[in-house]
A and B are shown apart, each in its own frame.
Chain A
Amino acid sequence: MAELAGIYAASHGPLIVRKWNAVTPEHRQVLTSAFTELGRRISAARLDALVIISPDHWVNFFIDNLPSICVGVGATHPGPNEPWLMKEYPHTTLPGHPQLAGHILETAFDAGFEPSVSHRMILDHGFCIPLMKAGVDPRLPIVPVVFNDIEPPFPSVRRCYAWGEMLAKAIRSMPGDLRVGVLASGGLSHSIGEATMGLVEEEFDRECLAHFSKGDPGALCDFLTQRLPQVGNGASEIRNWVAAHGAAGGRGFELINYSPVPEVIVGCGFASWNPVSR
């Protein structure tokens, strides 16, 4: 059976690429080091496939039909659509892993989840910035999973945790000897297009990270269920980290770095989990 060989999380944010030159040298060094360490850990895990959980920033979906969770099952996925990112990360397509994606879907439906399916999921900056900045080999097959972190109603925090648990079960029951990683992309606090735009809520971020470190999933879910509606809208992407925490069985969280970076208007967090064998 396949092995869950690594679980990771990283912030994204267009300004990390689009306004990189406006980032202070100190913060550039911090972000570069964090992404480099993330890439080192991913490389060291010798992955055969990487499941990435990210929001869709109005690229694949619109309010005509907005799935809570969608799994990309394509053999390839179109690369970034944003013109500013296409210059920096010029991949028109990235490889998929239809067999693994299909197995995740089957496991999800058996477990009482009903994700939607995309045979052509465009990988926007949420997927591509961590891949690019961490230097992940672009030949590594990707299974993209979109969580709706952008437009209410959102999947509940507890449901995201449970989804992560299911994802780990799916990976570990995948026939073959694949080494599979999970990467949560997004968060921590940020605020986009609302009255608090640009605000990074460091106190909230640090409290959130403390909950991940303690490992108590119930307390983490209670905290986020209560606090997410009170902070900037971008923090909703922490749902993706919660799924990664679920995949890790709520244990083994290790913070690589946290830095509030006002130039990119994101509380930037980077982490990995030591997968618990079951």
Chain B
Amino acid sequence: MRDYWLSKLFFDLQDPAKAAEYRAGREQVLARYELEPQVRTAVETDDVAFLAQRVNPYLLRFYFLVAGMSEEEFLRRIRATGEANG
């Protein structure tokens, strides 16, 4: 099942202006989305494994590019989700 508002946040950040605003300060952007508290915490802490269970993988990958996580770090974290799942 997809988390609608999380997906919507990631989708909207494809707009370069919104992405720039988000990079400048996440708080005011996140306030516009009805994120569950644990989902918001996962966004704030870049919890790739948690978020990966709730959004489309393409949007997840795109989001962490926008959010500024390096490719190497994203790969390390997303691959770790497979190791954790056995």
Per the bound structure, the CA–CA distance linking A197 and B62 in Å amounts to 13
Decide if A112 is an interface residue (CB 8 Å cutoff): no
CB of B7 within 8 A of CB of A62, answer: yes
- Let me know if A193 and B16 touch, CB within 8 A: no
Query: Chain B contacts of A198 at CB under 8 A?
Result: 75
B 39-74 contacts with A by CB, 8 A: 52, 56-62
A62 near B61: Cβ-Cβ < 8 Å: no
Determine the residue in chain A with the shortest Cβ distance to B4: A63
Interface string of B1-28 (1 = CB under 8 A from A): 0101001100100101000000000000
- CB-CB < 8 A to B7: which residues of A? 62-63
- A63 to B83 alpha-carbon distance, docked (Å): 29
| A195 within 8 Å of B (CB atoms) | yes
Q: How far is the CB of A67 from chain B (nearest CB, A)?
A: 15
A193 touches B11 (CB 8 A): no
User: What total of A-B pairs shows CB separation below 8 Å?
Assistant: 54
In the bound complex, do residue A197 and residue B56 qualify as a contact, i.e. CB atoms below 8 Å apart?
A: no
Q: In the complex, A58 Cα to B80 Cα: how many Å?
A: 25
B85 interface hit (Cβ, 8 Å) = yes
Give bound CA distance, A62 to B6, whole Å.
12
Report 20 cross-chain contacts, Cβ distance below 8 Å, ordered by A residue: A62-B7, A62-B8, A63-B7, A81-B14, A83-B16, A150-B56, A150-B58, A151-B56, A192-B57, A193-B57, A193-B58, A193-B61, A194-B57, A195-B78, A195-B81, A195-B83, A196-B82, A197-B57, A198-B75, A233-B57
